[in-house]
Amino acid sequence: MNVFITGAAGGLGRALANECGSRGYNMFLTDINEAGLFRIKQGLERQFNVTVTTKACDLTNPHSVDKMLAVLDTHGIRFDMVLNVAGCDFEGGFLERDREKLVKIVLLNNAATLRITHALLKRRRQGRPFSIVFVSSLASMFPMPLKATYAASKRFLLEFATALRQELRKDDVNVLTLCPAGMVTTEETLCGIKAQGFWGNVTTAPLEDVARRTIDCALAGKGVYTPGLMSRLLSFLGKFVPRSFVAAVVYRRWHHAQRKWMRADIIRS
Amino acid sequence: MKTVVITGATSGIGLETVRLLTEEGFHVLGIGRSAMNCKRAKEHISSHNPNARIVFFQADLMQQRDVLRVAEDIMAYLDEKSGGQLHALINNAGCVRSWYMTTEEGYEQQFALNHLAGFLLTHKLLPALQKARGRVIMTGSASHKGIKIRWDDVMLRRRYNPLTAYKQSKLCNILFAKGLNDRFAHSGIRAYVVDPGLVKTDIGNKETGSLVNLIWSLRKRAGVPPEIPAKTYAFLCRQEPAPEGLYYRHCKEKKYSGQVTRENADRLFALSERLCGLCDDTARQERTKAV
């Protein structure tokens, strides 16, 4: 099995790469962080008997993506699975954020993901099933004031993946959307989850479980995977509550959590 | 003046051991995770003992690139200041993680810091330790008893549990010490594990989730102050000739787990060498020799 992973030097990307390594899959990893890519490649090769190839790439830059694709074509590397992990968010309300950073959320989470998915579908291994995984978020299920751009970008992925899944079914392609709530990937995310209090704790899913089940779900042909019972319950209930009411509740929760988080950030720094 | 390197030197057991060792006249090189903590610790030690010979190095030992960098800096320092000799290395830095989190290499963080960091640092400082017929001391725990190494999933990727990960990392410490003795006792190096007992430190309050934080806050109330275990580290650094035991508590040799066998120690040694890239180094050196 040959797997292509974007955002492979970050927390979820690394966990998915570890999971693929433990299953003996060969991997092509990309991330904007070249040093991080080198280290995860080292770690994977030392742990598992797998072939890992890396190429640093800014997925929001078409030239950078073309260069990376040229590497794949030069070596004739073809794939059975693509894990679209690369994504970003920046804390703070819409008007408090830098304009270019807001645009970057859409450029990376959406435009770059489409670019990679399209390119990799053209580079699938012939005669074998192909899996695409999009990393969306529980945030895609609700309107999310104070995380409006991020949540909308994740909603885009969910809608797009659902439609693409139907479109590509005849070509033996499975499309899975992962919709996790919080996951502890870094010390910063741990602080963020703590700042959310009870709801942060009950919706947080173990990273290693999410990684394992994501690959299981992709191989089993599932369409959407929302980790955690509480997250599944929230996404189910969300369908019956007026969206304007959800927005008001979410605003109160995030307003409080972000202030607490930023305060903790100031104390830490 | 004998030189001692100690990791996790800016708080808890490490800081108290630094204070005691400097009072006993050792030249101490402390390693701390943040520059600010190193500065604070140095001020703390100097306020107790203005003549203390103490130098701090900043490194995040969870990341192997930082272990390699600080090892190089320390070797250069030792060459310049102490004739390239290191009397003792105390691998004390440790952590508890409520959640499965990984380092840049994708290694589980408790395993990476509590075991691999000490393993790699010891190997990089080995020439200086051999020169001084030095000692390597690990901070262990009685919790290493009653657990086995999960060889098929050593980083607990399939069923992570913070306590299991901690206990296993402490068993790794004692297996590493045994492995060192088996390999290097003939060249004068001795390795030990100190069981500090239950100590009032913040190990379970740093970057942990609410539950672990709460449990540790309650549990540590029954602990002893760090001055108590610090005496055992000082004892093992000071004693001549070097004591021959492996596992110490309150300056006395104690019994350890039946899992501490030569077979397990060798297996862990081989695994750790691979995870730290020391096999790559050996292969590279052999290739260079062949050329």
In chain A, what residues touch B156 (CB-CB under 8 Å)? 208
In chain A, what residues touch B210 (CB-CB under 8 Å)? 194, 201
Work out the average pLDDT over A63-81.
96
Beta carbons of A43 and B103 less than 8 Å apart: yes
Q: pLDDT digits over A136-174, tens only?
A: 999 898 888 888 999 999 999 999 999 999 999 999 999
Sheet with B135-139: list strands edge to edge: B54-58, B27-32, B3-7, B88-91, B135-139, B190-194, B247-249, B252-253
Confidence tier at A269 by pLDDT (50, 70, 90): very low
The segment with the largest mean pLDDT, out of A56-70, A136-150, B224-238, is A56-70
Q: Does B25 touch chain A (CB under 8 A)?
A: no
Work out the average pLDDT over B269-277.
96
Q: Which of A13-22, A164-173, A187-196 has the lowest mean pLDDT?
A: A187-196
Q: Which of A77-81, A139-143, B7-11, B257-261 has the lowest mean pLDDT?
A: A139-143
Mutate to test the interface with A, among B34, B96, B104, B159 (most CBs of A within 10 A): B104
Work out the average pLDDT over B241-267.
95
Q: Does A19 touch chain B (CB under 8 A)?
A: yes
Q: Does B272 touch chain A (CB under 8 A)?
A: no
Q: Does A186 touch chain B (CB under 8 A)?
A: yes
Confidence tier at B291 by pLDDT (50, 70, 90): very low
Beta carbons of A194 and B209 less than 8 Å apart: yes
Mutate to test the interface with A, among B63, B105, B207 (most CBs of A within 10 A): B105
**pLDDT at residue B288 greater than cutoff 60:** no
**pLDDT at residue B280 greater than cutoff 90:** no
In chain B, what residues touch A194 (CB-CB under 8 Å)? 209-210
Work out the average pLDDT over B253-265.
96
Residue A253's pLDDT is: 78
Is residue B192 flagged as an active site residue? no
Cα torsion A148, A149, A151, A152: sign: positive
Confidence tier at A258 by pLDDT (50, 70, 90): confident
Domain extent at residue A111:
2-268
Q: Is A49 or A260 the better-scoring residue by pLDDT?
A: A49
Cβ partners under 8 Å of residue A149, min gap 6: A94, A97, A102, A105, A106
Q: Does A20 touch chain B (CB under 8 A)?
A: no
Residue with tokens 């066998």: B261
Distance, CA of B159 to CA of A208 (rounded, Å): 8
Work out the average pLDDT over A12-37.
96
**pLDDT at residue B127 greater than cutoff 90:** yes
**pLDDT at residue B96 greater than cutoff 60:** yes
All domains in chain B, ordered by first residue? 3-290 (3.40.50.720)
Confidence tier at A28 by pLDDT (50, 70, 90): very high
Single-letter amino acid, residue A84: N
Residue A185's pLDDT is: 83
Residue B283's pLDDT is: 60
Confidence tier at B205 by pLDDT (50, 70, 90): confident
In chain A, what residues touch B100 (CB-CB under 8 Å)? 15, 184, 206-208
Closest Cα to residue B57, out of B105, B125, B141, B131? B125
3-state secondary structure at position B193 = strand
Beta carbons of B158 and A11 less than 8 Å apart: no
CA contacts within 13 A on the Cβ side of B221: 6
How much is the mean pLDDT over chain B?
91
Q: Is A97 or B7 the better-scoring residue by pLDDT?
A: B7
Q: Which residue of A has its CA nearest to B154?
A: A47
Q: Does A9 touch chain B (CB under 8 A)?
A: yes
Q: Are B197 and B228 in contact (CB under 8 A)?
A: yes
Q: Does B107 touch chain A (CB under 8 A)?
A: yes
Q: What is the CATH number of the domain that holds A254?
A: 3.40.50.720
Confidence tier at B1 by pLDDT (50, 70, 90): confident
State the total domains in chain A. 1
Beta carbons of B274 and A44 less than 8 Å apart: no
Q: Which of B100, B107, B160, B166 is flagged as catalytic?
A: B166
